[in-house]
Amino acid sequence: MNRTERIRAALEQAFRPTVLQIEDESHRHAGHAGAAGGRGHFRVEIVSARFAGMKPIERHRAVYAALADLLQTDIHALSIVTRAPEEVSAD
């Protein structure tokens, strides 16, 4: 499994999301000190019922907890967008 697949598996297990988008932005940070160690830069967008009633900081902490092991080995930087289903526009 590659890094993106490991991130996906961890987030799916923790949140059972209705939407999960993961973008590997590591190529934008080539030469960056964090990239030198082989760890990547990622952007995740998650929509999950688990986030209902949670404050933004609580949501981010939950995501960091779900990815704790990967933050030590595979992830250098993480941009997070979290929403509960009722916060998603019905456009």
Domain residue extents for the chain: 3-87
Instruction: Count CA within 13 A, CB hemisphere, residue 54.
Output: 18
Task: Give the residues of the chain that fall short of pLDDT 70.
Answer: 27-38, 90-91
Nearest to 25 by CA among 79, 63, 61: 79
Give tens-digit pLDDT for 14-34: 999 999 999 998 866 566 555
Question: What is 3-87's CATH superfamily?
Answer: BolA-like (3.30.300.90)
- % residues pLDDT > 70 (the chain): 85
